[in-house]
Amino acid sequence: MKGALKVVNRLLFYLLVAFVVVYSVFPFYWAVISSFKPSDALFSPDPSFLPLPFTLDHYKNVFLQANFGRNLLNSLVVAGGATLLSLVLGVLSAYALGRLPFPPKNAVLYLVLAMTMFPQIAVLGGLFLLLRGLGLFNTHLGLILSYLLFTLPFTVWVLVGYFKGLPRELEEAAYVDGATPLQTLLKVMLPLTGPGLVTTGLLAFIAAWNEYLFALTFTVGDSVKTVPPAIASFGGATPFEIPWGSIMAASVVVTVPLVVLVLVFQQRIVAGLTAGAVKG
Amino acid sequence: MLTLRQVRLAWLLVLPTLLAVVLVAGYPLAQVFYWSLFKADIAFVEPPEFVGLENYLFLLKDPDFRQALWNTLKFTLISVSLETVLGLAIALIVHSSFRGRGLVRTAILIPWAIPTVVSAKMWQWMLHDVYGVINVLGVKLGILSQKVAFLARPELILPAIIAVDVWKTTPFMALLLLAGLQLIPEELYEAASIDGASRWQQFWSITLPLLTPALVVALIFRTLDALRVFDVIFVMSGVNPTTRTLAVYNRQTLIDFQDLGYGSALSVAILVIIFVFVVLYMRTLGREALK
């Protein structure tokens, strides 16, 4: 009797697990199979749950008709640029904040932390004026600089944690060998923060890759526009005809690399997210 | 000697970051405060005119602002509550050991990895009034008596948007709570079992109290995020007044209406509202968490 109850409990539990998995994955699955269905199968009152019949037309449309390739390239440049810049600035300042005698350390850390509190919208007008004033409106550099607002504080916080965790002896050994502090940073400490750099870099890249508000506001036309605003405004031949197949194809193209990155670096991303969150 | 050199180096290393902070946060913020006291358009077609607190007085009487504030609070309250409950449930599920747990943990990360714009588009397609899979399945399974235009009916559009936000951000909540669960020592449960406490009693007297710090951090994070929500609202319903939140209204004022003065006053108001929430949280929940 008790054994039977246990089996039923276990079964119910696995049912619950299955439900959670379907809930999490199904929308993405539906986007993927929608992107492979020809339009008449897509707009059917009884859609199939497999990508049948199968076509690559939507992918061809996305890359041939729209400027989607250009948007993808822009996203790579902007997200990559913002990530690199935050890593360089972040490593330098995090080393100082984590390892060097530095009186107003906490003041600087709180200043950086305060930056994360700003909602992007609250500085939108000011940034708009700044970028226009500097001639950086509708440029990659303008977007990259504005993305520092959210990538930099995060990078600094997580990297400070990494630097603080490194053993003191390594640094001292380097000093004894006559290395300057800068050499110590570049030759001894930096290689050891590799995992930290990968984690923060990935999270910064994902945040920048997904950003919408600044990209929408600080760019016009396809020459600089990144993927999120491009997908949001994807239009059909007429205003009444929404090209759902192409929108889903574009969505899959921008999401698959992220999903793969997340799956590969899952452990690290979770560690980085929770570390950043608990400290922030 | 080394110390002095180190202090100098420290300043040198921090300088670029400080410059970046001033450039992208400090200076734009100062601009927003400054222009909130002016009547000005963002292209400066007309010469700006100093009007003191007039923009703020107008804000207090602006029905559109009040509606946007109400929409924002409704969105925040409902979505954060749902995410907390769902996130806790999912965290508890993936915390217990079972076969395939690693795979399940990976699967629940997928919504988090998908850009908000993309998830909004995916759900728009799933919620399509004729061909959407939710309508098709709903009718087939007998949950819906007929197909529903979720994104066209004023009373359904906010719930639909909230559903998308909950789907997208619950994984983050679950991750933070899972991290908290993993800090609770296993022995406490063993001791409680020996004393004859039921699973439910263990949850209320061990799990929940010890999870409070993680819960507070997660709540603060999600609330601040929800208060400034823009992407999912703007993609799914544009500047539609029934769902327009503070951030959407603010961008519309600044960019579409080109109203730098009033738009800046709105930005300051959003900052103040968020600040009030931070202080409230710190005072009530923060103290609780620190005990």
Summarize pLDDT for B21-80 with one digit per residue, the tens.
Answer: 999 999 999 999 999 999 999 999 989 999 999 999 999 999 999 999 999 999 999 999
Please give the Cα distance from A12 to B79 (Å, whole number). Answer: 27
Domains along the sequence of chain B with CATH: 37-102+170-290 (1.10.3720.10)
Cβ within 8 Å, pair A89-B167 = no
Query: Residue B38 pairs with which residues in a beta bridge?
Result: B50
Dist. CA A265–CA B2, nearest whole Å = 40
Report ipTM (2 d.p.).
Answer: 0.91
Q: pLDDT tens-digit profile of A68-104?
A: 899 999 999 999 999 999 999 999 999 999 888 777 8
The tokens describing B200, both together, are 């439910």
Question: Which ranges in chain A belong to alpha helices (H)?
Answer: 2-35, 39-42, 57-64, 68-99, 105-117, 120-133, 140-164, 168-176, 181-183, 190-192, 194-210, 213-218, 227-232, 244-264, 266-279
Residue B39, helix vs strand vs coil = strand
Q: Is A239 on the interface with B (CB under 8 A)?
A: no
- The helix (run of H) or strand (run of E) holding residue B114 is none
Query: Is B44 near chain A, with CB under 8 Å?
Result: no
d(CA A205, CA B233): 23
Band of residue A279 on the pLDDT scale cut at 50, 70, 90 = very low
pTM: 0.91
What is the distance in angstroms between the CA of the first residue and the CA of the last residue of chain A?
51
Chain B residues in contact with A129 by the CB 8 A cut-off are: 28, 31, 42, 260
Tell me which residues of chain A, numbers 91 to 120, contact chain B at a CB-CB cutoff of 8 Å.
92-93, 95-97, 100-103, 108, 111-112, 115, 117-120
Residue reference for tokens 């800068």: A182
Query: Which residues does residue B39 pair with via DSSP β-bridges, in sequence order?
Result: B49
Of A116-130, A259-273, B63-77, the poorest mean pLDDT is in A259-273
pLDDT recorded at residue A280: 38
Beta bridge partners of B49: B39
Mean pLDDT of B152-175: 93
CB contacts under 8 A, A 122-141 vs B, are 122-130
Strand, coil or helix: B223? helix
- Beta-carbon count within 10 A of A113 CB: 15
Interface test with A, best of B121, B134, B135, B229 (most A CBs within 10 A): B121
Ranges of beta strands (E only) in chain B are: 38-39, 49-50
Q: Is B291 helix (H, G, I), strand (E, B) or coil?
A: coil
Task: State the DSSP code for B48.
Answer: P
If DSSP codes are grouped into helix, strand and coil, which group holds residue B258?
coil
Chain A nearest-CA distance from B125, in A, is 7
Whether residues A102 and B7 touch (CB distance < 8 A) is answered with: yes
